[in-house]
Amino acid sequence: MEELKSVLAEWPAADIQKDIAIRIATHAQARRREFSVDPATILIIINCIINVIRLLYVCKTDAGVEGSIRKPGRVEKYLLKRQVKKEFPKHEVEPVYLAMIDVCKTLSQKEINELLDSTKEK
């Protein structure tokens, strides 16, 4: 895992995005042993996170997006699953999707705030 973090250290994504993506990837790997955790997978997960958050910002305020991350409803789950389906092969969709839901529930307020700040367009 340290080797993965050293490779990711040079990437332009925010540290909080990388940390959350690594947590999601390890959760997905725990659900499906064949799931590989590599830099490309982390980048794809980061892109999924950013795309879903940007979609949520179209419809919601900061507080609404924050609540949707912590406790996603049907619409948020649909958007997330749709995004994961676009990026991952069929056999990896379910573990990644469920890992994202699980990790979102465990994020602290500070992590959510940092994540939202990192995804806002500057």
- The b/e string for 22-58 (b: 16+ C-beta within 10 A; e otherwise) is bbbbbbbbebeeebebeeebbbbbbbbbbbbbebbbe
Does the structure show a pLDDT above 80 at 81? yes
Taking a C-beta distance cutoff of 8 angstroms, is the pair 80, 69 a contact? no
pLDDT at 10 exceeding the cut of 70: no
Q: Which pTM was predicted? A: 0.84
Residue range 40-68: mean pLDDT, rounded: 88
Q: Using a pLDDT cut of 70, give the percent of the chain over it.
A: 88
Residue range 71-75: mean pLDDT, rounded: 91
Question: Token pair for residue 24?
Answer: 């999601």
CB 70 within 8 A of CB 105: yes
Q: Looking at 11-15, 48-52, 110-114, which range is the least confident one?
A: 11-15
pLDDT score of 4: 60
